[in-house]
């Protein structure tokens, strides 16, 4: 069967997550700025990165430094994730909502394609075991909030999330380990109305992060 997509040239393809996309700016026009946050290579060649306009032409280091001044006091932790794309989705969403850091429990190597380069701007911390994560949280006085649809869980839609917290997620199926749930100040469930037992872990993380944003973020600081 003929596929009409095969007739389309590279410039006819719409921007998607896996294509280059039509974003960015060309070389700087006029006299170059003297602000040290600007990168001379970007000024000369243009900036095609997927960053907000306020960061156009800025160096990676300058962007990270500015983000560090505005990060929110919540963290995201993931344990037992088997799908690298879900890990990338969590990192990308954490960057969008300006989480302090993403904590990955278990393996240290993962395919970062799904993060869409946002891992360069987001703090990522690795823990060998869930005990290491819990010890880290206790030492810093950060409350652990598990997100899992288990008996006795509190509906996320009505829960009051702590301001300084780490939102902990497990993979679809096994979910958050019993050890982590026992250490959590609460376990929150996400209301579902369809036939499936669970939703995508990356999507669940995005829902929980946005719940924190709705309760605690200063929306006047949003782009």
The domains found in the chain, sorted by start residue, are: 32-69 (no CATH), 71-221 (3.40.1280.10)
pTM of the model: 0.86
pLDDT digits 0-9 by tens, 168-211: 998 767 789 889 999 999 999 999 999 988 888 899 999 999 99
Residue at token pair 């200063």 = 218
How far, CA to CA in Å, does 160 sit from each of 50, 102, 110, 185?
34, 21, 33, 11
Residues near 149 by beta carbon (within 8 Å), at least 6 away in sequence: 175, 189, 190, 192, 197, 198
Q: CB neighbours (10 Å) of residue 127?
A: 18
In the structure encoding, which two tokens stand for residue 206, read together?
A: 């995005």
pLDDT at 21 over 70: no
Residue 25 has pLDDT above 90, yes or no: yes
CA atoms within 13 A on the CB side of 1: 3
**CA pair distance 171, 151, nearest whole angstrom:** 17
Can you give the pLDDT at residue 169?
94
Q: Is the pLDDT of residue 17 over 60?
A: no
C-alpha–C-alpha distance, residues 71 and 182, integer Å? 28
DSSP letter, residue 151? T
pLDDT at 22: 57
Residues 87-117: tens digit of each pLDDT = 999 999 999 999 999 999 987 778 888 889 9
Residue with tokens 């949280």: 137
The span from the CA of 203 to the CA of 35, in Å, is 39
CA gap 85, 101 in Å, rounded: 18
Phi, psi of 145 (to 5 degrees): -120, 110
- Note the pLDDT of residue 205: 96
Instruction: Give the pLDDT confidence score for residue 15 in this predicted structure.
Output: 39
């Amino acid at each position: 069967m003929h596929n009409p997509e095969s007739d389309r040239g590279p410039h006819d393809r719409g921007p998607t997550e896996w294509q280059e996309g039509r974003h960015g700016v060309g070389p700087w026009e006029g006299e170059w700025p003297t602000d040290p946050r600007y990168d001379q290579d970007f000024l000369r060649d243009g900036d095609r990165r997927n960053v907000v306009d306020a960061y156009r032409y800025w160096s990676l280091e300058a962007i990270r430094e500015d983000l560090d001044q505005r990060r929110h006091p919540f963290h995201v932790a993931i344990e037992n994730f088997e799908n690298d794309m879900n890990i990338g989705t969590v990192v990308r969403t954490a960057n969008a909502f300006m989480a302090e850091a993403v904590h990955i429990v278990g393996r240290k190597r993962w395919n970062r394609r799904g993060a869409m380069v946002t891992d360069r701007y987001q703090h990522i911390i690795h823990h060998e075991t869930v005990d290491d994560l819990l010890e880290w949280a206790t030492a810093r006085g950060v409350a652990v909030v598990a997100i899992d649809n288990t008996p006795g869980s509190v509906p996320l839609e009505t829960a009051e999330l702590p301001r300084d917290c780490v939102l902990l997620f497990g993979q679809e199926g096994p979910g958050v380990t019993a050890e982590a749930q026992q250490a959590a100040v609460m376990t929150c469930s996400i209301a579902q109305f369809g036939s499936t037992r669970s939703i995508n872990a990356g999507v669940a993380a995005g829902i929980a992060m946005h719940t924190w944003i709705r309760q605690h973020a200063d929306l006047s600081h949003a782009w």
